[in-house]
Amino acid sequence: MSSNLHPMLNVAIKAARAAGALINRAALDVEAVRVSQKQVNDFVTEVDHASEAAVIETLLSAYPGHGILAEESGREHGAKNADHVWIIDPLDGTTNFIHGFPFYCVSIALAVRGRIEQAVVYDPTRNDLFTASRGRGAFVNDRRIRVSKRTRLSESLISTGFPFRTGDNFKQYLAIMADLMPRAAGLRRPGAAALDLAYVAAGHADAFFETGLNIWDVAAGSLLVTEAGGLIGNFAGEADFLEQRECLAGNPRIYGQLVPLLGKYSKFAGVDDKLAATERMRAVDPSRQGGGADVYARSTVGLREEASAAEAEAPAAPAEPQRPARRLIRAPRPAGDTQEPGAE
């Protein structure tokens, strides 16, 4: 990596590579890895724990006065009331890993007095290192990255994460997919949110959305997206999203078209929007006669025509956040569509 990187980013890179080496060694014989279940369909392995320990040891060796917020150990390590807090997901995409499906990563972010300042997302299977420092742009393997330039939703590839835990709102996701699939070029579910966000930053996907995410899933990726010229917030387009378990990211034009579509499914939507979402969920309930695939098939042509008209008039960016949110970590402020990250 370049020698002019921020010192704290360099330490995070060292930590991510150490964890990645452990993950790659374990992947050579993944069937021998011990797996336990935190809850239904939510797994943790000995590799998660070893990776997290390697990251924490590297970070605290360099900065013993910093705080730690990690997926597996929470706040057990580091200073308890530090201004500098490292937010760590040691293996995002554990289910993929234990099946040998090569889409998982290490995610490390640094929050300074509540604002994400440094970010690393490391894909050990491809040796792709995504990095960002606030105001200095986003990179993969020393190459500057930018969000895609697509402006039409009908030409866009959108990534997401399907609900998988008991209690998740499956009907809502069916309704969202029924709304989006006829309008977009494709919908993908790779299975690691931090890497999904890195792919949005690099322009490989035009947008990403998911509910039920934790702060360690999105902290590093959020800075990658904004430093690459993208926007990120909750489904309603509000920027204070990190602890709201609701994330939407994309290039500015596609983000601006998705907010009206996803906003009605947001926990923070108005009453009328929530009623509209409820009606949509009822329409796609497979247990109802004429619902599900039939509703999807009958609506496709009309939605395509509606989407084409909407794209022509799409705003460049969503509206400003409507209200502040009570939260532990402040989200990065979305970058503009035309201003280069780091510009004065």
pLDDT for 323 equals: 42
Count CA atoms closer than 13 A to 17's CA, side-chain side. 12
What confidence tens digit (pLDDT) does each residue in 188-219 have? Answer: 999 999 999 999 999 999 999 999 999 999 99
pLDDT for 307 equals: 54
pLDDT for 50 equals: 96
CATH architecture for segment(s) 7-145: 2-Layer Sandwich (3.30)
Q: Where are the domains of the chain?
A: 7-145, 153-312
pLDDT band of residue 321 (cuts 50, 70, 90) is very low
Mean predicted lDDT score pLDDT of the chain: 84
What confidence tens digit (pLDDT) does each residue in 57-84 have? Answer: 999 999 999 999 999 999 999 999 999 9
Tell me how far apart the 2 most distant CA atoms of the chain are, in Å.
63
pLDDT for 304 equals: 52
Question: To 5 degrees, how large is the angle CA 163–CA 329–CA 203?
Answer: 60
What gap in Å lies between CA 21 and CA 32, rounded to an integer?
A: 17
| Nearest CA-CA partner of 55 in 95, 98, 11 | 11
| Nearest CA-CA partner of 172 in 282, 275, 92, 91 | 282
| Nearest CA-CA partner of 50 in 24, 80, 31 | 24
Q: Which has more pLDDT, 2 or 136?
A: 136
What gap in Å lies between CA 122 and CA 129, rounded to an integer?
A: 5
- CATH number for the region 153-312 comes to 3.40.190.80
What confidence tens digit (pLDDT) does each residue in 31-64 have? Answer: 999 988 766 556 788 999 999 999 999 999 999 9
Of the candidate ranges 125-134, 221-230, 257-266, 326-335, the one whose mean pLDDT is the lowest: 326-335
Give the pairing of strands 84-92 and 105-112: antiparallel
pLDDT band of residue 311 (cuts 50, 70, 90) is low
pLDDT at 322 over 80: no
Q: Which has more pLDDT, 272 or 132?
A: 132
Burial of 95: CB neighbours in 10 Å, binned 0-12, 13-18, 19+: middle
Q: What tokens were used for 74?
A: 């929470």
What strands, in cross-sheet order, belong to the sheet with 207-211?
A: 186-188, 157-160, 207-211, 246-250, 231-233
What contacts 298, CB < 8 A, 6 or more positions away?
Answer: none
pTM for the predicted model, two decimal places: 0.81
| Nearest CA-CA partner of 72 in 107, 28, 102, 32 | 107
